[in-house]
Amino acid sequence: GRCIMCIIAVHAEQAIKIVRGMSSVEVMEPEPALFQVETSLKSGRPPRWTLNGEVLEPSGAVNIDREGTLHSLLLTSTESSMSGPVLFVAGKSRSTAQLVVKGELTKPGLRIEKKSCRIKPQKTEEQNVFFVKLNSVGEVSDEDDAGQYTCDLGTSQTKAKVTVHGEWVGKVWYLERPLTSCSNIMEYLFADLHITIIQRMKTTSVLEGESCTFDCQLSHDLDDEPSWVINGEAVVTNSRIQVINNGRKYRLTIRDAVLTDAGDVIFTLKDLSCRTMLFVKGNSEKPVHIFRELLNVKAVPGEDAELSCEITKPDVTIRWLKNGHLIRQSPKYEISVEKNLARLLIKNTTIRDSGEYCCEAEGVASRAKLEVRGRPPAHVCAGVKGNTSGLVLSCVTSKPCHILWYKDGCLMWNSSRYFATRSVCEARLTIREVCNNDAGVYECSAGSVTTRAVPLKAMDAKEGETVILTCEYSLPGVQFHWWRGFESIRAGDKFMMKQRKTINSLTIKAVKPVDSGEYSCQCRDHRTTASLKVHGMSLNFSVPLCAFFHTSVYQSHFYAL
């Protein structure tokens, strides 16, 4: 025959026992409260926590944790209304403790909440009751205003259900039903809160390159902005340092800490202050990075040029190279390192100093170009003076040099009408018997610098028109003066003066025959002159003058059509 064997195993669930029960906790509002229970087993179903008969679930205000056989309940912020029994249930085992939350008695304050939303109250002494005034930024309905409101004095609390029977006035709803059972509310309404720092910053030590945070928490909310100071310098938010304010909680976060961050960290808000220390240890294994790259630089001969780059790690070996060749400290090159900033100063640059420069530090490098442009042999300024019969163009250089004159881009040579002279640092071009063909752009060239002088041109205009006279000087931003004959012209309703770079203009509005004459533009000791002739408008009658005789011997009228 056959034999069938069956093995049935039955594992009975082992009962969980309380090894160490909870202890009652007494705190001041809004300090956190911690309850801990130790059980006999590590595994098992999740326990249940209740406060005042209500089951607690993990949230921002409730933190439930289990490490091995140790179970913890952390209430991050407490209020006097939370006072009551705390129950821990695991299987058939239970542990009970009492939570006592005391409000601040010295300076109690009033707080009104609806569905955990803070409401700013305003008082009224009408009928000795308190009315809530809700300020709304938009239109609200009766359903939005109705609900349960909580009046919290810090030492006591009361609740009331509000039904809205009011009417809309602007953007304010007045609730006709007061918060009842809240006695002596007026003496607390405008009392200042006794605000303290309930969570202070802790001394922190990090390695270079790591991140760290500093937290401060107040007992009540404040509208004022806090200030953070690190090593005596006010904190400015950037990509590495951030400040976050969340209600009563304030946080300073420092990312990629550097050695210079070490020192005092101070939090200040009104008359409250908290201070701690930050220690940053050097990390020898941390790689070096270029925090700020080299930038291209332009210079002229004789000037000093500076190249600089910033690295993430101080006290490292820095090498500077030009076109691949090592640069050493010398009277020509000044090399310096200040904390994380490396500098190379090139003194009295020449065109030969142009090229690519490189800053190397432990395998990383940054490159940039230095461009030294040739300095012109002279600084040139030009001017025009003369009249219609003869014209002299002059240009003054900073030092004696060879001068070439051009007209409309063509090189000019001495002739019977054009005569060029030079005296030390001044070169002149004389134009004799000026005619219309002499109009154009004249250039005075000294090496790589060219200056232009455009003389004023004679103009004819009709009465009532607007006339614009222009002259050009080689240097921008110099001061001009306009003259009419020997009389200086001032800006006003009649005359308008403008200057744009090297061009200066004079606008004469609604010219009349009396505006005819010689106009001059003067810059320093140079002057150019041109004539303006305004032709008056001719007057013609469409109908000749006629005589009309009337019966009255005393009147006779003449008119023209």
pLDDT level of residue 164 (50, 70, 90 thresholds) = low
- Is there a domain that residue 87 lies in? yes
> Which of 133-147, 181-195, 296-310 has the highest average model confidence (pLDDT)?
296-310
The pLDDT assigned to 181 comes to 39
Question: 359 with 392, same domain?
Answer: no
The pLDDT assigned to 98 comes to 92
Which contacts qualify for 400-404: CB closer than 8 Å, 24 or more apart?
A: 400/424, 400/425, 401/377, 401/446, 401/447, 402/446, 402/447, 403/427, 403/444, 403/445, 403/446, 404/444, 404/445
The pLDDT assigned to 106 comes to 37
- Is there a domain that residue 113 lies in? no
Question: 23 with 78, same domain?
Answer: yes
Structure tokens at 395: 């240009």
User: Residue 262: which of 188, 339, 191 has the closest Cα?
Assistant: 339
pLDDT at residue 126 is higher than 60:
no
The pLDDT assigned to 485 comes to 84
Maximum Cα–Cα distance across the chain: 170
Q: Please state the domain count of the chain.
A: 6
Question: 24 with 92, same domain?
Answer: yes
* Amino acid in position 219: S
pLDDT at residue 532 is higher than 50:
yes
- Is there a domain that residue 377 lies in? no
Question: 361 with 413, same domain?
Answer: no
Higher pLDDT, 451 or 191: 451
pLDDT at residue 7 is higher than 80:
no
Mean pLDDT score of the chain, rounded to an integer?
Answer: 75
Helix or strand run (H / E) with residue 145 = helix 142-145
Chain-centroid distance of CA 475 in Å reads 36
Question: 321 with 276, same domain?
Answer: no
pLDDT level of residue 452 (50, 70, 90 thresholds) = low
Single out the residue in 242, 262, 281 at which a domain terminates. 281
- Is there a domain that residue 5 lies in? no
The pLDDT assigned to 79 comes to 86
> Which of 103-112, 128-137, 166-175, 354-363 has the highest average model confidence (pLDDT)?
354-363
Single out the residue in 323, 340, 372 at which a domain terminates. 372
- Is there a domain that residue 95 lies in? yes
Domain that holds residue 58: 18-102
Compute CA distances 447 → 355, 403, 560, whole Å: 25, 8, 70
pLDDT at residue 396 is higher than 90:
no
Question: Is the pTM higher than 0.75?
Answer: no
| Cα dihedral across residues 484, 487, 493, 499: positive or negative | positive
CATH of the domain at 432: 2.60.40.10
Question: 294 with 368, same domain?
Answer: yes
The DSSP string of 229-260 is EETTEE----SSEEEEEETTEEEEEE-S--GG
Single out the residue in 402, 419, 447 at which a domain terminates. 447
pLDDT level of residue 517 (50, 70, 90 thresholds) = confident
pLDDT at residue 179 is higher than 50:
no
pLDDT level of residue 552 (50, 70, 90 thresholds) = very low
Q: Cβ-count burial of 78 within 10 angstroms (0-12 exposed, 13-18 middle, 19+ buried)?
A: buried
Question: 424 with 483, same domain?
Answer: no
Q: Taking residues 293-298, report their average pLDDT.
A: 90
- Is there a domain that residue 275 lies in? yes
- Is there a domain that residue 359 lies in? yes
- Is there a domain that residue 122 lies in? no
Cβ count near 545 (within 10 Å): 9
Structure tokens at 187: 């003496």
User: Residue 34: which of 63, 69, 2 has the closest Cα?
Assistant: 63
Higher pLDDT, 411 or 228: 228
* Amino acid in position 261: D
The pLDDT assigned to 250 comes to 93
